[in-house]
Amino acid sequence: MFDGNFRKSVDATTAPIGRWLVRVGFSADVLTGSGLVFACATAWAIAVGYFYLAIVLLTLTGFHDLFDGPVAKASHRASQRGSFFDSVVDRLSDAVLLGGVAYYLDARHHGQLVLLPFAILTTTFMISYQRSKAESLGLDAKGGLMERAERMVLLGIALLATQIFIPVLWLMLVLTAMTAAGRFWRVWQIAASPPPAAPSMSRTHPHSSRLRRGPSRASRH
């Protein structure tokens, strides 16, 4: 939902900060890598039950994740390698954070409840995988109720009090499962639609074949 509806306005806000971070010496890869470090620190704070500290660290983790893209654009170093690195680190961060949740639940709520964060992680990975696979096929799979930004916010809400921690985790599972199912259905429908027909050559234009063989203008990616 965040990526689908508000990305342009957020990019307009973060772009000046990204340029400032470049001027003071930050790079996108440094922000991405240090974001994983903060994610590990957040997971530790959750695991030992320091929820208020975890909220602060989670906010710093989100800060790194929010600004690595604008920094890459401002430094004119956006690349496939950087995009790949960012995606891998995002998945690692998700796994580490929910691993901290699992440790906390195992230490304080013995039983099958420890499987809850693993169920959330599974649906989270399905959301990411469906987008990656769809885009590799040339299909659009953006949007949805619970993308990464929303999951980070909801985890922060869960950390506000131990009384709401587990109920909010259950809510996260339901919403991520709905998002994964909705994304699957949307891509399934798009993939079932016939591809647009290629424009046919006009038989009445004597120079149509020469025009089609002419050089085309380059377009920006």
What amino acid positions are annotated as catalytic residues?
90
Angle between helix 51-74 and 148-158 (nearest 10): 160
Q: How far apart are CA 209 and CA 30, in angstroms?
A: 52
* Cβ-contact 70, 15 below 8 angstroms: yes
Q: The tokens 């599972």 sit on which residue?
A: 173
Cβ–Cβ < 8 Å for 46, 158 = no
Q: How far apart are CA 23 and CA 162, in angstroms?
A: 41
d(CA 217, CA 19) in angstroms, rounded, equals: 31
The number of C-alpha atoms within 13 Å of 11 and in the hemisphere containing its C-beta is: 11
Distance from C-alpha of 63 to C-alpha of 83, rounded to nearest angstrom: 17
Indicate the length of the chain as a whole number. Answer: 221
Rounded to an integer, what distance in angstroms lies between the CA atom of residue 18 and that of residue 11? 10
**What DSSP state is assigned to residue 114?**
G
CB 43 within 8 A of CB 95: no
